Amino acid sequence: MADVYSWHEGTLWGVLDDDLRVRLGVCEQAGGIWIGVDARLWDDRPDQASYTHDDFNRYQPDEITVGDDGLLTALHRHATAQPVEFRSGFTVRMPVAFVEPLRAALAAVTAQLKG
C-alpha cells in the first residue's frame, strides 16, 4: 500500500499517493470549490494526467461527498427550474486511506469559503 500525503498552501488543499492526486481549492472570484483529479495513466509507467482539466464547474460544499468506501462524488446543480434537478460532474474511487484526509481538506475549504 502506498503512503498517502496531504498538504495545504493558501487556498489549496491536496491528498496524494503514487497513483492519484486530488486537489481542492476556493474559487475566490466565482465562489464555490474547484476540484482537480490527476491519476496515473498506465500500470507500468508513473505518468499522471489531469482528468478534470475541462471541468469548469464550481461546486458548493453540499454537492461534494466522500463516502466511507472511498467514492468521491462531485455533482454540480445546473440552473434549472426547481422541479428539474439536473446535475453533472464526476465520481472517482479513491483508496480508503484518502477518505479522512480528504474530508478534513473539504471541511477546511468549506470553512474558508464561508469566511
- pLDDT for 1 equals 60
The mean pLDDT of 67-75, rounded to a whole number, is 97
Q: pLDDT digit string (tens) for 17-56?
A: 999 999 999 987 778 999 999 999 999 998 999 998 888 7
Identify the bridge partners of residue 49 per DSSP, sorted by sequence position: 39
- pLDDT for 62 beyond 90: yes
Q: How confident is the model at residue 14 (pLDDT cuts 50, 70, 90)?
A: very high
Non-local CB neighbours of 23 within 8 Å, separated by 6+ positions:
12, 13, 14, 35, 36, 37, 38
Domain assignments of the chain as residue spans, ordered by start: 5-114
Set of cell numbers at residue 78: 445546473
Above 90 in pLDDT, residue 11? no
Q: How far is CA 15 from CA 29, 39, 54, 78, 112, in A?
A: 24, 12, 20, 28, 18
Residue 99 has pLDDT above 90, yes or no: yes
- pLDDT of 115 strictly over 80: no
pLDDT at 111: 93
Mean pLDDT, residues 72-84: 92
Asked whether the predicted pLDDT for residue 71 surpasses 80, the reply is yes
